[in-house]
């Protein structure tokens, strides 16, 4: 086999990898646009019915730019953020045990949409110390196949990377599952020992902008947030 020159190797890599990454980026961007339009439709569908249940319930869609949007559902704020880069999984990831990826390693390159859950009051009252949680990460590859790493239904309903293709129907199902998860992910009071000592400066700051730290699971991080705690 003839050895390729550096120039030829560069062209080969551009053809095989850079073009593929452009395909991945196009797919994740299209998926994100679908999520935006589907989120708007879900909000429109829910608003009237929710008002008939209780007029105090707020359901809103907020456009935050090309790569981010928000859904406010009652007291919860869901932030959907698309990363503009393409990623590959490290070799320890279970992805590499998948026959779909073993057949073609370039299928492992994915775009990512992160889903965050915050309390709406954290932003409304500028409580900058409050905690939010990454509750899901959507991965889409060059063939529009997708799966989700996430909590509960987000993790086990959407993990068929071999067969699952991202489309309008899939996007709506993911959004509805995300909303349901957040509505059932309740606010726990912080442990007493975590708040029994408060400094004068903390209290003054709290009086001005309510900055005593609040989170749905204060003291637990997403990585160790077990289903029993949920």
Per-position DSSP letters for 158-188, written without gaps between them: S--TTT-B--HHHHHHHHHHHHHHHHTSPPP
pLDDT tens digits, residue range 103-144? 999 999 999 999 999 999 989 988 887 888 899 999 999 999
Q: Residue 71 and residue 80: Cα distance in Å, rounded?
A: 8
20 within domain boundaries: yes
Instruction: Report the pLDDT value the prediction gives residue 49, as an integer from 0 to 100.
Output: 87
216 within domain boundaries: no
Rounded percentage of the chain residues whose pLDDT exceeds 70: 81
Instruction: Report the pLDDT value the prediction gives residue 111, as an integer from 0 to 100.
Output: 97
Q: Residue 124 and residue 132: Cα distance in Å, rounded?
A: 14
Instruction: Report the pLDDT value the prediction gives residue 190, as an integer from 0 to 100.
Output: 63
210 within domain boundaries: no
pLDDT tens digits, residue range 139-169? 999 999 999 998 777 887 899 999 999 999 9
144 within domain boundaries: yes
Q: How many structural domains compose the chain?
A: 1
Q: Is residue 214 helix, strand or coil?
A: coil
The region, left, alpha or beta by phi > 0 then psi within -120 to 50, assigned to residue 219 is left
213 within domain boundaries: no
Question: What's the distance, CA 225 to chain centroid?
Answer: 16
pLDDT tens digits, residue range 173-223? 999 999 999 888 766 666 677 666 666 676 666 666 555 455 555 433 334
pLDDT tens digits, residue range 52-67? 888 889 999 999 999 9
143 within domain boundaries: yes
pLDDT grade, residue 41 (50/70/90)? very high
194 within domain boundaries: no
201 within domain boundaries: no
State the pTM of this model: 0.82
Q: Is residue 116 helix, strand or coil?
A: strand
Instruction: Report the pLDDT value the prediction gives residue 203, as an integer from 0 to 100.
Output: 65
By residue range, what is the domain housing residue 162?
8-186
Dig out the tokens for 135 from the structure: 């509750």
**C-alpha separations of 174 from 8, 34, 178, 216, 218 in Å:** 43, 11, 6, 21, 26
pLDDT grade, residue 230 (50/70/90)? very low
């Amino acid at each position: 086999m003839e050895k390729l020159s550096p120039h030829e190797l560069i062209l080969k890599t551009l053809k095989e990898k850079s073009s593929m990454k452009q395909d991945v980026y196009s797919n994740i961007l299209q998926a994100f646009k679908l999520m935006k339009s589907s989120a708007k439709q879900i909000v429109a569908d829910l608003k009237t019915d929710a008002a008939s249940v209780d007029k105090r319930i707020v359901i809103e869609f907020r456009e935050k730019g090309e790569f981010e949007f928000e859904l406010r559902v009652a007291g919860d704020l869901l932030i959907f953020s698309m990363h503009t880069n393409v990623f590959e999984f490290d070799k320890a990831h279970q992805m590499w045990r998948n026959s779909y990826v073993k057949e073609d390693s370039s299928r492992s390159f994915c775009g990512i949409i992160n889903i965050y859950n915050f309390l709406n009051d954290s932003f409304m009252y500028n409580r900058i110390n409050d905690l939010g949680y990454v509750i899901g990460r959507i991965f889409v590859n060059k063939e529009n196949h997708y799966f989700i790493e996430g909590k509960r239904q987000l993790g086990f309903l959407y993990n068929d990377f071999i067969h699952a293709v991202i489309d309008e129907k899939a996007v709506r199902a993911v959004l509805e599952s995300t909303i349901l998860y957040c509505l059932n992910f309740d606010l726990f009071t912080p442990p007493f020992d975590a708040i029994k000592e408060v400094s004068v400066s903390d209290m003054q700051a709290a009086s001005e902008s309510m900055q005593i730290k609040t989170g749905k699971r204060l003291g637990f991080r997403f990585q160790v947030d077990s289903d029993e705690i949920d």
